[in-house]
């Protein structure tokens, strides 16, 4: 059975992305936070959003756990399902980009190829990969949700860093040492990057 959409034509909006960006007073961009579970992706992404919101920017965070409650609630954690999870997030983030929103995504997104596919969905420079670089032992020591303990006990299959690989970015736009720097320092680095690229004032 072929479930692909047919007889569909993209409808061009009368309000362009440029007009939305002018109204917002900043450019739209995808900030793609990637790293192991416990590396601080969600924490940093939400802290960056807080800062941007207080600066008057239009923002939205797509968080891994939250998305799996709705958009991707039908997916498991097999390699195939993880790829589909990231594909859907990429397409959602692309729509937010067109809406003129600074979109922050916090997903392990363990496979380089999948992240590259999302990068290629949008024009050059509009997908900024931010690697939350934290050693596995530090992530395990945090283990806020108790997931590493369960994975080590064999209770969770295909757990990234334990029974499933994580492919670290080779050349990310920004690398945050979330095991060493505090939240405020990480936020400052992200804001500095956005300013250096003239995405925000």
**SS3 state at 31:** strand
pLDDT at 156 over 70: yes
Q: Is residue 124 part of a domain?
A: yes
pLDDT at 1 over 50: no
What is the C-alpha separation between 122 and 94, in angstroms, rounded? Answer: 7
- The dihedral built from the CA positions of residue 153, 155, 159 and 164, taken in this order, carries a sign that is positive
Residues in the chain: 201
Q: Is residue 8 part of a domain?
A: no
Q: Is residue 10 part of a domain?
A: no
What is the C-alpha separation between 140 and 132, in angstroms, rounded? Answer: 15
Q: Is residue 3 part of a domain?
A: no
Q: Is residue 88 part of a domain?
A: yes
Q: How far is CA 42 from CA 39, 46, 48, 107, 124, in A?
A: 9, 6, 10, 8, 25
Domain containing residue 54: CATH number: 3.40.50.300
What is the C-alpha separation between 147 and 17, in angstroms, rounded? Answer: 40
pLDDT at 7 over 50: yes
pLDDT at 5 over 80: no
pLDDT at 52 over 90: yes
> For the purposes of burial, counting CB atoms within 10 Å of the CB of 150, is it exposed (0-12), middle (13-18) or buried (19 or more)?
middle
Alpha helices for 12-63 (secondary structure H): 17-24, 41-54
Instruction: Report the chain's mean pLDDT, rounded to a whole number.
Output: 91
Q: Which domain holds residue 92?
A: 17-196
What is the C-alpha separation between 99 and 105, in angstroms, rounded? Answer: 16
- The catalytic residue positions are 109
Q: Is residue 34 part of a domain?
A: yes
What is the C-alpha separation between 169 and 17, in angstroms, rounded? Answer: 29
Q: Is residue 162 part of a domain?
A: yes
Query: Domains in the chain: how many in total?
Result: 1
DSSP E strand boundaries for the chain: 29-34, 59-63, 102-106, 127-132, 174-176
The mean pLDDT of 45-54, rounded to a whole number, is 98
pTM above 0.75, yes or no: yes
Q: Is residue 77 part of a domain?
A: yes
pLDDT at 123 over 80: yes
């Amino acid at each position: 059975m072929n479930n692909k959409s047919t007889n569909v034509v993209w409808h061009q909006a009368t309000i362009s992305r440029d007009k939305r960006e002018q109204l917002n007073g900043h450019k739209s961009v995808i900030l793609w936070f990637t790293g192991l579970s416990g590396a601080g992706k969600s924490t940093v992404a939400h802290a960056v959003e807080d800062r941007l919101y207080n600066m008057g920017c239009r923002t939205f965070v797509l968080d891994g756990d939250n998305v799996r409650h709705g958009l991707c609630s039908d997916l498991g954690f097999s390699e195939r399902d993880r790829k589909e999870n990231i594909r859907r997030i990429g397409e959602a983030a692309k729509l937010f980009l067109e809406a003129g929103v600074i979109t922050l995504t916090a997903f392990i997104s363990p496979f380089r190829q999948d992240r590259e596919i999302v990068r290629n969905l949008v024009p050059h420079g509009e997908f900024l990969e931010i690697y939350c670089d934290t050693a596995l032992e530090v992530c395990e020591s945090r283990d806020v949700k108790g997931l590493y303990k369960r994975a080590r006990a064999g209770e969770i299959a295909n757990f990234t860093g334990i029974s499933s690989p994580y492919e670290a970015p080779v050349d990310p736009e920004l690398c945050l040492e979330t095991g060493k720097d505090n939240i405020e320092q990480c936020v400052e680095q992200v804001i500095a990057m956005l300013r250096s690229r003239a995405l925000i004032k």
